[in-house]
Amino acid sequence: MTNQPLTSEQVRQYQQDGYLIVRNFLSQEEVDKLYRVAIDDSAVSKNAINVNDSTGKRSKLSLWYKPGNDTYGLLTRSEQLVNAADALLDGDTAVCHFHSKLMQKEPRVGGAWEWHQDYGYWYKNEFLLPDQMMSVMVAITDANEENGCLQVIRGSHKMGRVEHGFAGEQVGASQRYVDLALQTMERVFVELKAGDVLFFHSNILHRSEANLSDKPRWSMISCYNRQANIGYNDSASSMSSITPIEVVPNEALLTWEAAGLAEEGADFLAKEADVALK
């Protein structure tokens, strides 16, 4: 893991664009370990939820609230990631973990995600301050236009929250506002190499295409929040979203003996329980 703190230029870029890419955030060895765990840890497949897009293509994701002593928990809790979130989030209370998910977009099967803002969902959990919430995507495999990488509308976080409605099984942003945004703002395909990390603001509009290629697209997305930003309708996350993260050293990911994902009571999401996915 890199141990370079974010520069003030990177912070400025995030504030301006609503996202920031940090290349080679993780080493090859760390990526290999994450990939192996994603395949080997039975808790991942046992807790996988299928999400269909409007054409019936299916993505798999496993979502948990409490970051534990498993390999993914150690990454989420690493000094490097938490300090970066601390530098990018508005406010000054402790950095907390809302939830993490392992996104599995299988070759030719993995579905699309409609244009949305993550805060379009989180607003329903009654969090009041979108500038104090963000998502961090860690690429476990390469992600490119062919296998359905994330797309963002640069600067769209400055629009504030856009109305969301149902689009198939997913919740999508108002097409009218997406169309208007695209008239003046640039759509960017966020191509990542395994080990690169993307930080993005809770109000940036983003989507992704189905994976029509023969390569998987796997990533972990961890969402961070500030302790003072209470989700008044967030019983699901059992207070994780306002509990300060127990930070671990960067080297924990490779050197600590990791638990299995389920051993720590990681508190997986069951599909029926989620306000946003319903």
Ligand X SMILES: O=C(O)CCC(=O)C(=O)O
In the bound complex, what is the minimum distance in angstroms from residue 261's beta carbon to ligand X? 18
Looking only at the bridges linking them, the beta strands covering 95-105 and 58-64 are: antiparallel
- Pick the closer one to Fe ion by CB: 73 or 120: 120
- Pick the closer one to Fe ion by CB: 17 or 118: 118
Q: Which does 208 bind (CB under 5 to 8 A by kind): ligand X, Fe ion, none?
A: ligand X
Q: Which amino acid, one-letter code, is at 192?
A: L
- Pick the closer one to ligand X by CB: 71 or 100: 100
DSSP state of 102: E
In the bound complex, what is the minimum distance in angstroms from residue 205's beta carbon to ligand X? 10
SS (H, E, C) 14-74: HHHHCEEEECCCCCHHHHHHHHHHHHHCHHHHHCCEEEECCCCCEEEEEEECCCCCEHHHH
- Residue 145 CA to its chain's centroid (Å): 18
- Pick the closer one to Fe ion by CB: 33 or 57: 57
In the bound complex, what is the minimum distance in angstroms from residue 150's beta carbon to ligand X? 5
Under the binding rule (CB under 5 A), the answer on residue 118 touching Fe ion is yes
Contacts (Cβ under 8 Å, ≥6 apart) of 9: none
Under the binding rule (CB under 5 A), the answer on residue 53 touching Fe ion is no
**Residues in the site for ligand X, rule: CB under 6 A?**
103, 113, 118, 150, 206, 208
Give contact residues for Fe ion (rule: CB under 5 A).
118
